[in-house]
Structure 1
Amino acid sequence: MKRVLLAWVLMAGMAQAEGEPTGIFDYYVLSLSWTPTWCAVEGDDRGADQCDPGQGYGFTLHGLWPQFESGWPSFCPTRARAPSRGMTGAMVDIMGSGGLAWHQWRKHGVCSGLTAPDYFALSREAYERVTRPDLLRRLDQEVRLPAAVIEEAFLEANPDLEPDMLTVTCRSGRIQEVRVCLTRALEPRVCGADVVRDCTLGNALFSPMR
């Protein structure tokens, strides 16, 4: 039993590295969060502004994450200057809050090897390169659907993507995120085996935008 536990701990440690040298990674994961799900599970209890009626947030940018072929770096040491409040505030239109932008820089951006302005500019470019299906934005009531339907919608809206280049995640029985794998030049690429873990729910909740 002790050997099994030790092996599990070692494997878990390999999956996520903290304090890795900045700028050393293999590709990016662009994480797009369906805001109504985040609001229902977490944001409403926080009184988050992006959850107010009429805000119109759909798939927002959760983050642009440096990734290894297996695992990912985080909290890398860097000499890059931290972003200003104005800089993180400028990301609210696609991220929902300046606080999230700050957190993403502190955890993931520092591992990119970029300055904060360049990291946020690259994040915005990556976000704009992926078409979010307009049909999903037009829903006016909550529906239940297979998570695979969301993947198919993204594949149809983005002909350059193939099934192994993105994954759909769920949380609390709801569609949570779409994660797209990109090269360092922001071209679509096949995801690593630890990223391609599609949600298999056949009746996931999908709430309309507010």
Structure 2
Amino acid sequence: MTLYDLKPAFQTLLRPLLRSLHRAGITANQVTLLALLASLALGLLLTLHPAPALFLLLPGFLLVRMALNAIDGMLAREFNQQSKLGAVLNEAGDVLSDAALYLPFALLPGADPIAVVVMVLLANLTEFVGVIAQTVGAARRYDGPLGKSDRAFALGAYALLVGLYAPALAWSPWLFWALAALCALTCLNRARRALQEAA
């Protein structure tokens, strides 16, 4: 069970906005690029100014990014906008956005930069393993325990905490090592279930 399992309900909430965007001529690829560029911009801001108070921007942005990620997929599927370019933009955009938004945690006071970098690398590996499942004849894997939505929730909550409660900065090393371990477990689960499905 991961937050990804709540995606159908989330999509239902977004459907009125989806229809408005389609009528306005907005395409799935444009939404994907908007999410990526906004993520890179916020990541750059947090890198240049790694003040705990600025990390209060992250929880709300991560929610908006999740909405944009849902909308681009819905536009592609429901309005015949699926393309090979869109698939590449979607997967590459997620990896780049995660790196841009999560690496700045390494610059906060009390952080263990190695733990943050290892977590981000393993988070990206979870998406790679999820995609590579398709090369062995399985479906794209979204298994947990720490998929993209779960990471966003955990790190959004931590960003909110460090912005409001300075002592939480000291929790960073063990938190990121724990998240790294959960990402590694997620990779194993996705690989194992992809092989089981392919068999």
> Normalization by structure 1: what TM-score?
0.24
- Structure ranking higher in helix proportion: 2
Q: Which has the higher contact order (CA 8 A, sep 6+)?
A: 2
- Structure ranking higher in strand proportion: 1
